[in-house]
Structure 1
């Protein structure tokens, strides 16, 4: 009778493992289009052995854990390349805008207008009494100065847009850093009693991927599984449960020297404000 019960328990354990595997497979299929999701596997192990005299009997299979199928090396490479791609794309946006402002691809760009301006002066130097040449010099001067004013106006608008974009980026970086910090706490809480949190790890990895596409970061994992995020090797954005946000401040005007309001500077609050602007080379 005991042998029959043991056989039934072994069969039951096999059915339970199969059920858990099917549930995990269904979870994988349901999340096939979920951004940042990593496939999960049920890791199984042999149940404890029962010894009866000189004989040992198995007790079937147990579900040991549900693990994520991920490659940390590939994740780091993707994070690094995402940052490089985002950096190139961002530069391309403003280089294209600058190219359009200088308008060198057409016949009325700065080079052409400058050449026309100096050519008209050369003509005037050979015939200073010609009213037609004087009128041409006047027209070339008006065109050149008008185009320079237009470029100055449009370049200032581009600079203003860049400042707005920087402020938006800092807000997003802070939001992602806070998300990583919160997930550090959630993962630690979930694993305190021996539990697992594969979906939380996916969310944290996705937040790190997005963060890595916006700034040059490095990460380290402590013994509790919490991630530390350093920016440009100079600023600790996230240290376990602590968050050090970025701040954007504009250089104040200096009435004594007549200096107007300057450009934006980026600081990290750790815990006092530390300027990062000159240290940021990419991202």
Structure 2
């Protein structure tokens, strides 16, 4: 027959097992708000049974291990969609700044200043020898030039800021890669020794999620628990076991080209994430807007200067430029005209002075001339198209970021339904383990009383 000692052993194993259950449940509850934490579950099995003359007898319960409740497929999907979110958010932030810069909703801006400039020529054509009209025209020309210069300077500032953000993102990628490598070493050391590294795996998954938002990464987990990470369309190594290439700097910002290179200086084709969004917005969108602004400024200066050289001022002299500079960055009204407004060429060739206004009329007509976009647009239409393109791109980026954010919320909610900690569920588990522990303690008390009875019989 089973000995009373067997009852004590069953009680002892039950006490230890359910104490472990209480500890694990407490650990889950404590980490209910820990980012990236995956709840853990205690696996229970019947202890080994043995045969006696009276039949098979059990020997209690045992904990066979702790599982990490985790779905690697949903984690992979979260990382892929997080990459798209990083891309859209980067575009939204940059294009939003450009949209604010070119905003004409308040009634002030480059478009309005161009309209006032052309109106200034129209006013001058009505009073070609008027000093007030000439002074106003100079002021409007200076204001429009200032808008061109400030807009170009602001776009250049945004471009420099993007390049700085790219460098910061590269540094952030290096730091996260080093963290993954360090966690690789800890996980491998613990698990190769027979232990479980669930907490370190959670931390590594969180680091990989942060990495996925910054760039397109690919991961591969080996049998020893370590994860190898590559980046870019060409799969440049980012983490190899516990090593980050380039002495911890696997990527660098090429100061000459503004592109991304690996530790050996070879170009890296970034295909997604925040880094891709920043690079594309800088090299495609922003540079395109700058080119359009320059086309507008240079064409306007060229057309106005050509007409102005053909006309004559009140002193009867022609051949003067109205604007100086070669681009939007240095555009301004010629200082000779600022010093002497009578030099403004309102009269056309051969017209009597004062009173000639043919050149001023021709200048005013430039506003409606199809001189931009290969003869298909006026100055105003060209600029309006630029503003519209910026607004459309900004709205598209905002909508993309919103959609991707909502998708990420749904995926995170689904992950939480699988791996997240439910306080209600944990409280139920806690009560179950508590009651089982108390019952096991009662079992030991009963066994002790039985032993006392046997001993007192001797």
TM-score by length of 1: 0.85
Report the equivalent of 1:159. 159
- 1:73-111 per-residue CA deviation (whole Å, 9 max, x = no partner) reads 222232233333333222222222212222322212122
- 1:25-69 per-residue CA deviation (whole Å, 9 max, x = no partner) reads 111111222222111111122222324479433322211111211
Report the equivalent of 1:246. 251
- Cα shift at 1:175: 0.6
- Cα shift at 1:18: 0.8
Q: Is the 8 A contact 1:188 1:226 kept in 2?
A: yes
Q: CA 1:240–1:204 in structure 2 vs 1: closer, same or farther (change >3 Å)?
A: same
In the alignment, the residues of structure 2 paired with residue 227 and residue 149 of structure 1 have an alpha-carbon distance, to the nearest angstrom, of: 51
- 1:238-260 per-residue CA deviation (whole Å, 9 max, x = no partner) reads 12223131112200xxxxxxxxx
Point out the structure with the larger helix share. 2
2:116 aligned with 1:116:
yes
In the alignment, the residues of structure 1 paired with residue 41 and residue 195 of structure 2 have an alpha-carbon distance, to the nearest angstrom, of: 15
2:261 aligned with 1:267:
yes
Q: Is the 8 A contact 2:87 2:272 kept in 1?
A: no
Q: Is the 8 A contact 1:218 1:233 kept in 2?
A: no
Structure 1 stretches of 5 or more lacking a match? 252-262
In the alignment, the residues of structure 1 paired with residue 233 and residue 243 of structure 2 have an alpha-carbon distance, to the nearest angstrom, of: 17
For 1:66, what is the secondary structure of its paired residue?
strand
Report the equivalent of 1:258. none
Report the equivalent of 2:209. 209
Q: CA 1:281–1:127 in structure 2 vs 1: closer, same or farther (change >3 Å)?
A: farther
- Which 10-residue stretch deviates more, 132-141 or 24-33? 132-141
For 1:275, what is the secondary structure of its paired residue?
coil
Structure 2 stretches of 5 or more lacking a match? 275-458
CA RMSD across the alignment: 2.3
Report the equivalent of 1:56. 56
- 1:110-160 per-residue CA deviation (whole Å, 9 max, x = no partner) reads 222223323434555676545444333322211111011111222222222
For 2:38, what is the secondary structure of its paired residue?
coil
In the alignment, the residues of structure 1 paired with residue 241 and residue 105 of structure 2 have an alpha-carbon distance, to the nearest angstrom, of: 52
Q: CA 1:236–1:126 in structure 2 vs 1: closer, same or farther (change >3 Å)?
A: farther
- 1:172-197 per-residue CA deviation (whole Å, 9 max, x = no partner) reads 11111111011111101001121111
Q: CA 1:190–1:201 in structure 2 vs 1: closer, same or farther (change >3 Å)?
A: same
> Higher relative CO (CA 8 A, sep ≥ 6), structure 1 or 2?
2
Q: CA 1:191–1:96 in structure 2 vs 1: closer, same or farther (change >3 Å)?
A: same
Report the equivalent of 2:299. none
For 2:56, what is the secondary structure of its paired residue?
strand
Q: CA 1:281–1:123 in structure 2 vs 1: closer, same or farther (change >3 Å)?
A: farther
Report the equivalent of 1:9. 9
Q: CA 1:91–1:27 in structure 2 vs 1: closer, same or farther (change >3 Å)?
A: same
Report the equivalent of 1:254. none
Q: Is the 8 A contact 1:103 1:110 kept in 2?
A: no
Q: Is the 8 A contact 1:215 1:282 kept in 2?
A: yes
TM-score by length of 2: 0.55
In the alignment, the residues of structure 1 paired with residue 213 and residue 224 of structure 2 have an alpha-carbon distance, to the nearest angstrom, of: 26
Alignment length (residue pairs): 269
